Amino acid sequence: MFLGVSKRFDISRILVYAVLTAICVIVMVPFFLIVSSSLTSTQTLTLHGYSIIPTHFSFLAYRYIFRYPAVLLHAYGVTITITVVGTVGSVLLTSMMGYVLSRKDFRLVRPATFYVFFTMLFSGGLVPYYILMTHYLHLENSIFSMIIPGVITPFNVLIMKGFLAKIPVEIIESAKVDGASEFRIFFRMVLPLSTPALATLGLLVSFAYWGEWFNALLFINNQNLVPLQLMLYNIMNTVNFLANNPEGAATGLHVSLSSLPTISAQMAMVVLAAGPMMIIFPFFRRYFVQGLTVGSLKS
């Protein structure tokens, strides 16, 4: 039968497993490449190139990084700071706004929803944004340049509106009859009732902050404020620069040779910077889908 109730040997089911398994192996190959290169000595890499399975194990790259962990730890510090501060601020402000839009008895609910929704349809573009951040808000080389831009996104507000609209109207009505103010209702009743929604939002937002590089690329030159992703990009750029200007490397033009990561150290850095996120976030995959499906509900 169609749903696979039949007990007879079913060749097509085996085929389905085979195809899916093959695709998953192909999807994993790039990760093997990174991990295996980080575990291979640079000499082997130079001789035989990158490989998917390491032939000569070497933990030298990791030992090298752990001996001088300052850059990596500092980038972790920056990323953790913007993630924590950004997520807390975002969950609070987004749920406040989303809650107001979810209240169908609010007189201005339609214009307010449009006010949020329109920013999804049209934007001034990169240049006015850049001028706003640098010329008017003076956020260049400030950690807030990586926090403020993601605090409220219209998409997240509409997700929260969708979530919070599920709170029964009777609860809010009865609180109003008891004379509670809207602030009291929101902070004392709505927020505690919607912790699952807040957790989902917090997950989506923290994922976005953790992977931040766009604003860092635009606004951060200060080495002390470089987050993880930008750190990886800077390492790649240094390597490119040296590959294209070998004589520059010899004279130590822009980079001191001691800070030059070897190929395997470079890959070990990728593993250490990007790895933890890839282990933690997939556990929450159903919340990512939930967020999207609720968000696409019609307003």
Partner 1 sequence: MRRGDWELLALASPGIIYLLVMAYFPMVGAIVAFKTYLYNKGIFGSPWDGLQNFQFFFRSQEFLSITRNTIGYNLAFIFLGTVVAIGLAILMFFIHRNKGAVSVYQTVLFLPYFSSWIVVEYIVYGFLSQQHGLIDHAFFPPNHGINWYESPQYWPYILTAANLWHGVGFSTLIYFAGIMGIDPTYYEVAAIDGASRWQIVRRIMIPMLSPLIAILVIIALGSIFNADFGLFYFVPNNSAFLFPTTQVINTYVFRALIDLGQIGMSAAVGLYQSVVGLGAVILANYVVKKLNPDNALW
Q: Cβ distance 82 to 268 under 8 Å?
A: no
100 binding partner 1? (CB under 8 A): yes
Nearer to partner 1, 92 or 255 (CB): 92
Q: In angstroms, rounded to a whole number, what is the distance separating the alpha carbons of residues 138 and 117?
A: 27
Cβ 252 to partner 1, closest distance in Å? 22
How far is residue 80's CA from residue 244's CA, in Å, rounded to a whole number? 34
Binding of residue 119 to partner 1 (CB under 8 A): yes
Q: Which of 72, 117, 175, 260 binds partner 1 (CB under 8 A)?
A: 117
**Residue recorded with tokens 């190139």:** 49
33 counts as binding partner 1 under rule CB under 8 A = yes
* Minimum CB distance to partner 1 smaller for 33 or for 85: 33
Is 97 an interacting residue with respect to partner 1 (CB under 8 A)? yes
Q: Exactly one of 22, 73, 108, 169 binds partner 1 (CB under 8 A); which one?
A: 108
> Is 106 near partner 1 (CB under 8 A)?
yes
- Separation between Cα atoms, residue 4 and residue 65, nearest integer Å: 52
274 lies in the binding site for partner 1 (CB under 8 A): yes
- Greatest alpha-carbon pair distance for the chain in Å reads 79
Q: CA 202, CA 78: separation in Å to the nearest integer?
A: 18
Nearer to partner 1, 64 or 284 (CB): 284
How many residues at the interface with partner 1, by CB under 8 A? 97
- CB-nearer residue toward partner 1: 256 or 283: 283
Provide the token pair at 177.
């009859």
Measured distance CA(5)–CA(15) in Å, rounded: 17
* Residue 174 binds partner 1, judged by CB under 8 A: no
> SS3 for 297?
coil
Q: Which of 57, 59, 66, 130 binds partner 1 (CB under 8 A)?
A: 130
CA–CA distance from 43 to each of 97, 216, 242, 243, 299 (Å)? 57, 34, 18, 17, 59
Identify the three-state secondary structure at position 141: coil
Residue from 235, 224, 250, 230 nearest 65 by CA: 235
C-beta of 3 vs 70, nearer to partner 1: 3
Least distance from partner 1 to the Cβ atom of residue 51, Å: 7
The DSSP bridge partners found for residue 57 are 40
3-state helix vs strand vs coil in the chain, percent to 5: 75, 0, 25
> Could you tell me if 290 and 163 are in contact, meaning their C-beta atoms sit under 8 angstroms apart?
no
Residues 180-239, interacting with partner 1 (CB under 8 A): 181-183, 186, 207, 211, 213-214, 218, 229, 232-233, 236-237
The only residue of 76, 175, 176, 189 in contact with partner 1, by rule CB under 8 A? 176
Determine the residue type at 186. F
Q: Which is nearer to partner 1, 68 or 123 (CB)?
A: 123
Shortest distance in whole angstroms from residue 198 CB to partner 1 = 16
104 belongs to the binding site for partner 1 (CB under 8 A): no
Q: What is the C-alpha R_g of the chain?
A: 25
- Residues 42-81 touching partner 1, rule: CB under 8 A, are 45-46, 48-52
Among 82, 198, 204, 263, the residue binding partner 1 under the rule CB under 8 A is 263
Choosing from 7, 9, 12, 177, the residue that interacts with partner 1 (CB under 8 A) is 12
